[in-house]
Structure 1
Amino acid sequence: MKVLITGGAGFLGQRLAGELLARESLKIGGVQQRIDEIVLLDVTRAEGPDDPRVRIEEGDIAERAVLERVIDGETAVIFHLAAILSAEAEAAFELGMRINFDATRELLEVCRARGHAPRLVFTSSVAVYGGDIPEEVQDDTALNPQSSYGTQKAMAELLLSDYSRRGFVDGRVLRLPTVSVRPGKPNGAASSFASGIIREPLNREISVVPVSGATRVWLLSPRIAIENIVVGAEIDAAALGHTRVVNLPGVCVTVDEMVETLSQFAGPKAVARIEWAPDETIERIVSSWPSSWNVRHAKKLGFSGETTFRAIVQTYLEDELHILPKRDHGHH
């Protein structure tokens, strides 16, 4: 079986490739199928695990010729992770439209032309919601994005659902919470601070926080995000019911509570490395996102999430800093 990961040079793409190589197979259509090849596609050359099953492809995902090169009749599963992130998509409208929407349509068109209806897992976002949202977002809460990124993701969701209805692909949309704590440097996401607020102080660096302490966010660790993406690939379409979209579980936490958790782990010196620098654009984007979701449907399907932000920080310490826990983390 051949697997394609778009955004293969990115953080989640790299993690997903490693997870799939470790698993060696995916359960598709009730049958455990061996993974023979993983194609990592990105506009910048992916590092890629040193494994004969991995093929690195460099190219612009919005170009049909690139997609035709990496998707053939043997491509059984596609993980579509490539995206221009929220703040960047707001600043560079044409680029966001080209990668987040046009490229998704082109990818779906190539799948349609191939004619074998590959399974397609698309990572979407909390940003598809906005405006006057209820206290707790339901699976069927109306989409009302308040950013170009959210609009592009919402359009791609609708498109994927229709291509699935028509039998061109076997799609599933996973609306990811903000993934925290990511290692590395700040990225182009409006929610980048949700990782930096922990990562930088622990690294003895200044963390600039562009939102108020009362801002609420919905979070999930990278480890569990990857587990959920694999679950999404293995679920039978029939189990999804009338919709191809799933809101994933996460933790609702205020920025102040995140700071308090940092203090519990690393003390006042770490907290002193936080600089508050309000940014109206970032605040507007982030505060338009829901902070509490009804995820009963997701949990029935086998998706999971941490139960506390403390557990998310502990996961970061274990996975990135290799500091083992003093107690059990709150993943269930």
Structure 2
Amino acid sequence: MTRYLVTGAAGFVGRNLVDALLERLTPGDELTLLDREVGARHPRVRAVEGDLSEEAVLEAVLAERPGVVFHLASVPGALAEREYALGRRVNVDATLDLFGGLADRTRPPTVVYASSVAVYGTLGAAPVDARTPLQPQLSYGTHKRMMELALEDFSRRGELRGVALRLPGIVARPGLASGFGSAFMSDVIRSLAAGEPYICPVSPGATAWWMSASRAAGNLLHAASLATPGTLTLPALHLSVGQVVAALGGLFGADRPALVTYRPDEGTEAVFGRSPPLHTPEAEALGFRHDGTAAGLVQAALRAH
């Protein structure tokens, strides 16, 4: 029997992870979901609703002593920058409290932590690989790097088995408003698939690292099976917005690219639209995967919810 815990379970990646996890539960397994609003969706699901930074909520999720934890709860980039105290409380303080509450040298639980490529900060044209310096430019990226180090230290001490995965831009998030500065990556896919016009805040040549929510969920689940803890940058498709728009045109009609009006914002493009090529042979050797092609990415992204 395995007891699982998913924090941030009602979020975009969380919902897709929970769906994938429910398909893999075996008899006797138990699953606890934490978010501000969850709602039990399965007989073996226990819902804990509230803020992880609240002591009573933390005690509730730790009461069953989970053996496998997926920690996704966070305040996203743009919001964490605007509301620093909130970002620190959730992304740093509550996360450290969770790690400390889970720590157990006798039976160390597995903790899969959703980190972010925001730990890299502003990048040049050189490909990113395991030797690329980490220089986060936003509080969110700094928070994520701090928690990577904390998880590595808990693992070194034998109190947790921690795997931190640096997630790229995950698509396609529903709705047109979010705390993510990279929201355009989802918005352009959702809008063009629906045949709706879209004003894009970056140029067609803006490049990013893209991954569908279903592929992210599969990679998170795979991380829980790794024998060795560590921190990894995941394989992701390196695509321009123009390439994604072209893929949408190929899938939904040649008229779709014309629905995009490009009005680049220098600040948005500088932070979220100048990603260089990505080389992740270490993660690929361990079995992590990307979505394959731009068309495959779009198709998988539109199945997300």
Q: Report if TM-score (shorter chain) is over 0.5.
A: yes
Contact 2:212 2:304 in 1 (8 A): no
In structure 2, what is the Cα distance between the partners aligned to 1:134 and 1:257? 19
- Give the SS at the match of 1:272: helix
Shift of 1:134: 5.9
Q: Does 1:247 align with 2:230?
A: no
Structure 2 matches for 1:171-182, cutoff 5 A?
171-182=162-173
In structure 2, what is the Cα distance between the partners aligned to 1:58 and 1:278? 39
Shift of 1:115: 6.4
- Give the SS at the match of 2:253: helix
Q: Relative contact order (alpha carbons < 8 A, sep ≥ 6): 1 or 2 greater?
A: 2
Shift of 1:35: 5.5
Shift of 1:174: 0.6
In structure 1, what is the Cα distance between the partners aligned to 2:122 and 2:192? 33
Moved more, 267-276 or 147-156: 267-276
Which of 88, 92, 103 in structure 2 is aligned with 1:112?
Answer: 103
Shift of 1:125: 0.9
Q: Deviations over 1:100-137 (max 9, x none)?
A: 11111111121137964211000111110023546221
Q: Deviations over 1:231-252 (max 9, x none)?
A: 0011112xx5xxx111111110
Partner of 1:38: 31
In structure 1, what is the Cα distance between the partners aligned to 2:53 and 2:131? 30
Q: Does 1:99 align with 2:90?
A: yes
Moved more, 204-213 or 245-254: 204-213
Shift of 1:320: 5.3
Partner of 1:166: 157
Q: TM-score, normalised by structure 1?
A: 0.85
In structure 2, what is the Cα distance between the partners aligned to 1:14 and 1:35? 22
Q: Cα RMSD over matched residues? A: 2.2
- Residues 46, 207 of structure 1: CA spacing in aligned structure 2 closer, same or farther, 3 A cutoff? farther
Q: Does 1:265 align with 2:251?
A: yes
Shift of 1:275: 3.1
- Which stretches of structure 1, 4 residues or more, deviate above 4 A after TM superposition? none
Partner of 1:66: 57
In structure 2, what is the Cα distance between the partners aligned to 1:171 and 1:53? 25
In structure 1, what is the Cα distance between the partners aligned to 2:150 and 2:125? 25
In structure 1, what is the Cα distance between the partners aligned to 2:100 and 2:91? 15
Q: Does 1:138 align with 2:123?
A: no
Q: Which 5+ residue runs of structure 1 have no aligned equivalent?
A: 26-33, 322-332
Q: Does 1:192 align with 2:177?
A: no
Partner of 2:192: 201
Structure 2 matches for 1:46-61, cutoff 5 A?
46-49=38-41, 51-61=42-52
Q: Deviations over 1:147-188 (max 9, x none)?
A: 111111111111111111112211000111211233444422
Partner of 1:256: 242
Which of 74, 79, 82 in structure 2 is aligned with 1:83?
Answer: 74
- Residues 273, 48 of structure 1: CA spacing in aligned structure 2 closer, same or farther, 3 A cutoff? farther
Contact 1:193 1:208 in 2 (8 A): no
Q: TM-score, normalised by structure 2?
A: 0.92
- Give the SS at the match of 1:102: helix
- Give the SS at the match of 1:188: coil
In structure 2, what is the Cα distance between the partners aligned to 1:23 and 1:217? 31
Which of 207, 223, 242 in structure 2 is aligned with 1:232?
Answer: 223
In structure 2, what is the Cα distance between the partners aligned to 1:214 and 1:101? 35
Contact 1:186 1:193 in 2 (8 A): no
- Residues 201, 47 of structure 1: CA spacing in aligned structure 2 closer, same or farther, 3 A cutoff? farther
Partner of 1:308: 293
Identity over aligned residues, as a percent? Answer: 38
Contact 1:175 1:247 in 2 (8 A): yes
Contact 1:9 1:48 in 2 (8 A): no
In structure 1, what is the Cα distance between the partners aligned to 2:213 and 2:117? 16
Contact 1:84 1:96 in 2 (8 A): yes
- Give the SS at the match of 1:234: coil
Partner of 2:264: 278
Shift of 1:61: 1.0
- Give the SS at the match of 1:3: strand
Q: Does 1:14 align with 2:5?
A: no
